[in-house]
Structure 1
């Protein structure tokens, strides 16, 4: 323990003063923001709606129509990069990205204004601890607590109604995702990984190199040559390959987010 101090002006919503102590830990994790990698996800929920699906089809059709009019490139890698970039740009323009989740979605501007108002009232009471300022602080505390409680109740009620609607519409994926959010609660993300020796890595650049080395070793398969292909005669009749229409019909009959057979 290095230092212990009391903060009289801290907005801690209790009569005793806040006491802050500095402790020295043995295990320290250094985080560098220079090599931080921000992952973005496309909002694939829009594809389940007809409007979003049609918008994506129009975007990607227009881009590939322009590619057909251009000269054919000989390099396969450049051709694949062009196709990949067009698919990403079409998805970005039509679908967009997921918005990051907030820790307290019910905490809006009204709650922030009440919090600032309560903080100013407490500072005024600390500077002049009179009866008038004390009563004013108590009233503002009571009003802020009531407002926060009501906003949180409204948010929970809306989430429960959303889960009930997902259950009614057979939207199993969003249903279980919402239930898991309620069960787990808030969990801070930890960007840690282990190296070859089992030591923890906290730097995002070192973590990226660790994953790159891991997958390079995992996917480095030696090429097997001189494989003989033998045909095994059977008594079953020759079944022709399915047509594109039959494939599309079979895919349309599948249920979403479910495996084709029992695991």
Structure 2
């Protein structure tokens, strides 16, 4: 099994300066953990290539889950995907070539800034370290081989899992979430597992898991809480007749009392053949207060192409500049001038329009998916009744209609985009033409947050390496004579030479805003 190099990213959060109780709320005392795994089918699920829908984040918000462990993601590489709209970060560790396996951890809400480190071990194991009040917590996501796999393959997996726990700090709390493909029986193992398992006898994978837990002083918390059998099963067979308990939650014995409950939930979404296993954890995660920053969307620069809009913008800028005093210091004078330009651009040009993530997804698609979810819920409620088969047929029809509708909408949108590219090829706007070509060719590319050194090597400890990076010495500056201030004609000539469609500087003023301000300005 090929292993990814261990690395920490510059995504590590700022250290918490104060560990008092001022930065916490009552909700911080009850944190939820969840593990979802298994093969995926349908249009929205875990087995998606980067850039497609991340609809599996929707039920996480519905269950109010803070930290999620994902298995069998089948993505490519190891990176961090941030979904700002759903306020979730996905730390995934998959194979270099997209295919089988792959694990990941999703951190939602305010807990995102409590992540201290992330270690992608390989396509079956990854670790996220969270900052806490009295102790930190290492969350390990694991995906074990099946029970029919070769014994050496299983030994290699447990050796790697054991080595991963050795890398975790000694005084951190360890929580292991994952699909272990282990049916644990009701045999008595004092201090290692409970007797509330769904199965009577243990399989080979279960015995290996129990031996591993005993060697590391772990407790299988998923077998310690009494529940109905329907709340113990975590995986259902394709024929929907067999349900097994193969997903488990392990915690070190010192912090076993923090686990309040572990059970599986049956849900309406069908993106996995595994039921989500939710564990309620009583642990205080450090949650420092942070001031909310107002999002700056910028102004719609493309609107200046209209003659009427450009004229209105120039007159508005001239009106705002007339109210500025001329005898101010140079820094204060430029600050007020820049404020006049940006405020006039916001009022006249309007805010920058944001492209939706899925332009083809409309209200019709949303209603079709809602009908599919409602049919799925009715079928779940009517199981083991006489009318279950007819309700299941209604669900199949609703699911087929929703899938076909979304597929047709997406295909029609892609065809329209290609027609736009064809029309732009004969126009004079080559910039927009190449933008559409690049968008169709590359698709979605997640933002990378890794950091390389001067030689191109991936930095393991980002902050110390960047902070102590030595810069070449600057050449001495000779004494220069004070130059005369530029004339108005020189300033106008310099503004005319500015190139359009370029990113603004630190002041946020585009070149188009200066060009369209008018000669009188």
* TM over 0.5, shorter chain: yes
**Quick one: structure 1 residues 187 and 34, their matched pair in 2 at CA, closer, same or farther if it must change by over 3 Å?**
farther
- Cα distance in structure 2, aligned partners of 1:48 and 1:168: 20
Residue 73 of structure 1 pairs with residue 327 of structure 2: yes
Q: Which residue does 1:17 correspond to in 2?
A: 273
Q: Which residue does 1:224 correspond to in 2?
A: 478
Q: Which residue does 2:302 correspond to in 1?
A: 45
Q: Which residue does 1:61 correspond to in 2?
A: 318
Question: What TM-score comes out, normalization by structure 2 length?
Answer: 0.35
Residue 175 of structure 1 pairs with residue 350 of structure 2: no
**Quick one: structure 1 residues 155 and 90, their matched pair in 2 at CA, closer, same or farther if it must change by over 3 Å?**
same
1:189 is paired with a residue whose SS is: coil
**Quick one: structure 1 residues 102 and 55, their matched pair in 2 at CA, closer, same or farther if it must change by over 3 Å?**
same
Confirm or deny: 8 A CA contact 2:300 2:350 kept in the other structure. Answer: yes
Residue 150 of structure 1 pairs with residue 438 of structure 2: no
- Cα distance in structure 1, aligned partners of 2:291 and 2:442: 29
Worse overlay, 187-196 or 151-160? 187-196
1:107 aligned to which of 361, 377, 387: 361
Confirm or deny: 8 A CA contact 1:8 1:18 kept in the other structure. Answer: no
- Cα distance in structure 2, aligned partners of 1:99 and 1:162: 19
Counting matched residue pairs gives 217
**Quick one: structure 1 residues 154 and 193, their matched pair in 2 at CA, closer, same or farther if it must change by over 3 Å?**
same
Q: RMSD across aligned C-alpha pairs, in angstroms?
A: 4.3
Q: Which residue does 2:178 correspond to in 1?
A: 3
Question: What TM-score comes out, normalization by structure 1 length?
Answer: 0.65
Q: Which residue does 2:398 correspond to in 1?
A: 140
Task: List runs of 5+ in structure 2 lacking aligned partners.
Answer: 1-141, 143-176, 180-233, 236-264, 279-286, 482-488, 503-521
- Cα distance in structure 1, aligned partners of 2:500 and 2:398: 51
1:3 is paired with a residue whose SS is: strand
Deviation at 1:3, TM superposition (A): 3.3
Larger RCO: 1 or 2 (CA < 8 Å, sep 6+): 1
- Cα distance in structure 1, aligned partners of 2:354 and 2:348: 19
How big is each residue's C-alpha offset from its partner over 1:85-122, in whole Å with a ceiling of 9 and x where there is no partner? 00111111122232333221111222122212111111
2:323 is paired with a residue whose SS is: helix
Q: Which residue does 1:159 correspond to in 2?
A: 417
**Quick one: structure 1 residues 189 and 80, their matched pair in 2 at CA, closer, same or farther if it must change by over 3 Å?**
same
